[in-house]
Structure 1
Amino acid sequence: MPRSARLLRLLHAIRTLAAPITAARLAEETGVSTRSLYRDIDALRSAGARIEGERGYGYRLLEDPALPPQMLDQDEIEVLALGLAEVRAWGDPALARAADSVLAKIAATLPDERERQLLHAIAQVFRPAPRYVATLDLAPLRAACWQEKAVDIRYVDGDGVQSDRTILPLALFYAETCVTALSWCCLREDFRMFRTDRMVEIRPNGTSFRPRRVPLLRDYLAQLQARRGARGNGA
């Protein structure tokens, strides 16, 4: 691994792991010897990173030169802490790790007082069980949305009927009790909502529908809004 990439990986580890972080743990994260780790810490300090700690104690990042300072007021900090805590409670391991990473990166850009408020916010989320019970790994579906690529799914509808579909995934909608994929269904040639907890299998097929995702999603949301308006008017 090039040294520049290793230093970035080390910086990310110091941002995200609970401080103080031992040299042995950081060496494990970056795949180097402890001796090389000490040299890398010195290199980051020379580049402007304020890293507190020493050998035998552990390290903590006080100031990160790679991230610009953030000016957030107390309410904005509470919103961030509450929103990220809610994501961690969803039950999706990949998004939970991403939430922790975002929290660490933002905390590293804040003045000391604001950092403490973010890491020890007064607003908390408690869920004795995950909000969404994962039946499948949704990472391939999220990736397909971003990459604008079709996926093949095996789906069981509300009556228990199973079918194979090819869909163009447009967005994931996090509702109260389930995650739904807003999609274009190639079988029905129309917009459809597919509950991810009813998907038995998700297989990316590599077929690109770029750059159709944004206009398709815009049209679908407009249809949903029109239906809502019609119901509100008693139509």
Structure 2
Amino acid sequence: MMCHVLLSSIVGMGHHRLIMSRTERLFRLMDALRHLPPPVTAAQLGQELGVSERTLYRDIEVLRGQGAVIDGAAGYGYRLIEDSSLPPQSFAEDEIEALVLGLREVAALGDPALAKAARRAHAKLRARLPERQAHRLRHAVLTAHRFQPPLAPTVDAAALRKACWDEHTVTFAYSDKHGQDTRRDVRPLSILLMDRSHCLLAWCCLREDFRAFRLDRMTDLEVTGTSFRPCRVPLLREFQEKLRAETKLSGDAF
């Protein structure tokens, strides 16, 4: 009788490990579908997860049955389509630490609206995670603190970010490092956090070239509503390549 109970216990433990292994594999499959360039073939996914293509096909159907919208078929490759019916996302322990560090860094260094958004995002994440992961989020090892935070922007940084997304030109008064005042009309591309200040990367209509403007030297910001869509992404790539080339020549890292 004791042997029978022991055998049943061992079988049950093995079954539990099998279920956990499959659950972990499904989460890993979701992660692979998210970060691999689509369409991703079953062979690529199998190599990423270390399983056979046959297993991949079954797991794809399981995910579809749970509500994941996955486009594609065997022999053609797969593409994950994001929607609200996707299964809950899980995080590895290091991923939780990375999220906490990033959100705390934004809370410490971002403009007021962005810092507040980071604190809200942290609270939402804590509320949505399973209890064990939420506990790790609450008591994460990593934190962020700056003794010299960046200078506060003197314009509405949230409005500037929206102008970047909407691809609308903006105009503002600007005082350069020599104290010279000018009025600039620019195409806003991105906001970059430097050592002591937030900088707007933009195409300057006055200089007809790329320029970086410190947000703590800007005043009287106006969003003109004039669209420069769809030029933002190619312009930003060109600016970034220019910065990389310049920093490479100077020996600095970008």
Structure 2 unaligned segments of length 5 or more: list them. Answer: 1-83
TM normalised by structure 2 equals: 0.61
Q: State the partner residue of 1:99.
A: 118
Q: State the partner residue of 2:141.
A: 122
What per-residue deviation string (whole Å, max 9, x for no partner) do you get for residues 152-178 of structure 1? 010001110100010001000111111
**Distance in 2 between the 1:104 and 1:66 partners?**
22
| Cα distance change of structure 1 residues 211 and 107 upon mapping to structure 2, 3 Å threshold | same
**Distance in 1 between the 2:185 and 2:231 partners?**
16
Bigger CA drift: 178-187 or 118-127? 118-127
Larger radius of gyration: 2
**Aligned counterpart for 1:136 among listed residues 116, 131, 155:** 155
How far has the Cα of 1:214 moved from its partner?
0.4
SS class of match (1:85): helix
- Taking every aligned residue pair, what percent have the same amino acid on both sides? 47
Q: State the partner residue of 1:80.
A: 99
Confirm or deny: 8 A CA contact 1:68 1:109 kept in the other structure.
Answer: no
SS class of match (1:150): strand
What per-residue deviation string (whole Å, max 9, x for no partner) do you get for residues 178-210 of structure 1? 111110000111111111111122111111000
Q: How does 1:1-235 map to 2 (within 5 A)?
A: 68-90=87-109, 92-127=111-146, 130-232=149-251
**Distance in 2 between the 1:76 and 1:149 partners?**
35
Structure 1 unaligned segments of length 5 or more: list them. Answer: 1-64
Confirm or deny: 8 A CA contact 2:149 2:196 kept in the other structure.
Answer: no
- Structure with bigger RCO (C-alpha 8 Å, 6+ apart): 1
Q: In the alignment, residue 182 of structure 1 is paired with which amino acid?
A: L
**Distance in 1 between the 2:110 and 2:250 partners?**
34
SS class of match (2:122): helix
**Distance in 1 between the 2:214 and 2:240 partners?**
17
Confirm or deny: 8 A CA contact 1:153 1:202 kept in the other structure.
Answer: yes
Q: In the alignment, residue 162 of structure 1 is paired with which amino acid?
A: D
Confirm or deny: 8 A CA contact 2:150 2:198 kept in the other structure.
Answer: no
Number of aligned pairs?
169
